[in-house]
Amino acid sequence: MNSRFHLRKTHFTEKLLHYHHFNEYDLFSMKNDAVTKINKWVSTDEYDFLDAEYCRYTEPEDPILHRRRIYFNKKKSFYCIEDVIKGYKSHNFSLYFHFSLLDLDSIDGEIIIAKAKNNNVLVVMPIRNNETSSDIFNEWTSESYGLKSSTPVLRLSQSNGSSAVFFNVLYVVKEKDNLQDSIKLGKSLKREYDLFVYDHEEK
């Protein structure tokens, strides 16, 4: 199988342009070049919350810290995913979502919808700033070892900075629901996450 399916951009993760420190044609020679840390991991009947990070020291003058916080509200069935990436030099940052066998569509540049079964629609709402751009394209992805298929990919990008912040709310609505109401719902879920983080941060 082509080793490109092991690269970072073929998974739901971030990518820094020109920041690969391995030979993509000899992936089994990769070494552990990152220090990982779990800051908090909590699971209750109401929510799951993970706060983790890793730091790559492969360039002494430009270590990269990537912190990701994932919040899953079990009662309302929505996710909030926050990525904070910090470096010293200027980078182009990209974050990828892969949607196997689902059609993607961008609505007013505010939300991306993926139609699923049973008239359900998965909504991805990027909480944008002026530096974030998005595009949708098809790319080969691998569902399992030895297989590949062309699937839609959502890419969020920020360019020419030493740091980047990506924040995305994921939730499900019915296909018949009013899209403007869906946008309002996403913003209210983001506020709910902000209150959760504020209440649970160590004072």
Q: From CA 51, how far away is CA 41, in angstroms rounded?
A: 6
Mean pLDDT (the chain, rounded): 79
Closest CA to 97 of 73, 121, 123: 123
Residues of the chain with pLDDT > 70, as a percent, come to: 77
| Domains located in the chain, CATH noted | 3-200 (2.70.98.70)
Least confident among 10-19, 106-115, 121-130: 10-19
Q: What is the pLDDT of residue 7?
A: 43
Exposed, middle or buried by CB within 10 Å (0-12, 13-18, 19+), for 169? Answer: buried
Query: Which helix (H) or strand (E) is 98 found in, with range?
Result: strand 78-98
Q: Is the pLDDT of residue 111 over 90?
A: no
Residues of the chain with pLDDT > 90, as a percent, come to: 27
Which tokens is 173 given?
């609505």
Q: What is the pLDDT of residue 188?
A: 93
Q: What is the pLDDT of residue 178?
A: 80
Q: From CA 20, how far away is CA 10, in angstroms rounded?
A: 14
Q: What is the pLDDT of residue 3?
A: 37
Which has the higher per-residue pLDDT, 43 or 62? 43
